[in-house]
Amino acid sequence: MKPVKVGIAGLGTVGSGTVNVLQRNAQEIARRIGRPIEIAHIGARRPNPACSIDGIRVSADVFELARDPELDILVELIGGTTTARELVLTAIEHGKHIVTANKALIAEHGNAIFRAAHERGVDVAFEASVAGGIPILKALGEGLAANHIKWVAGIINGTGNFILTEMRDKGRDFADVLKEAQALGYAEADPTFDVEGIDAAHKLTILASIAFGIPLQFSKVYTEGISRITAEDIKAADYFGYCIKHLGIAKDTGHGVELRVHPTLIPKEVLLASVNGVMNAVMIDGDAVGPTLFYGAGAGAEPTASAVVADVIELGRALTVDHDERVPYLGFHADAMSEMPVLSIDEVECSFYIRLHVQDRTGVLADITRILSDKGISIEAMYQKDVDDNEPVPVVLMTHRIRESAMREALEQIAALDAVLDDIMRIRVETLDA
Q: What is the pLDDT of residue 327?
A: 72
Percent of the chain with pLDDT over 70: 97
Is 203 known to be catalytic?
A: yes
Integer distance in angstroms from the first to the last C-alpha of the chain?
A: 48
Q: Which of 186-195, 244-253, 386-395 has the lowest mean pLDDT?
A: 386-395
Residue 303 clears pLDDT 70, i.e. is over it: yes
Neighbours of 402 (CB within 10 A): 18
The mean per-residue pLDDT over the stretch 120-135 comes to 95
Residue 335 clears pLDDT 90, i.e. is over it: no
Per annotation, catalytic residue among 150, 203, 245, 251: 203
Q: What is the pLDDT of residue 423?
A: 83
Instruction: Give the tens place of pLDDT for each residue, 343-356.
Output: 999 999 999 999 99
Q: What is the pLDDT of residue 160?
A: 96
The mean per-residue pLDDT over the stretch 105-121 comes to 96
Q: How confident is the model at residue 429 (pLDDT cuts 50, 70, 90)?
A: very high
Q: How confident is the model at residue 387 (pLDDT cuts 50, 70, 90)?
A: low
Most confident of 116-130, 330-344, 359-373: 116-130
Q: How confident is the model at residue 309 (pLDDT cuts 50, 70, 90)?
A: very high
Percent of the chain with pLDDT over 90: 87
Q: What is the pLDDT of residue 35?
A: 92
The mean per-residue pLDDT over the stretch 125-142 comes to 95
The mean per-residue pLDDT over the stretch 389-409 comes to 92
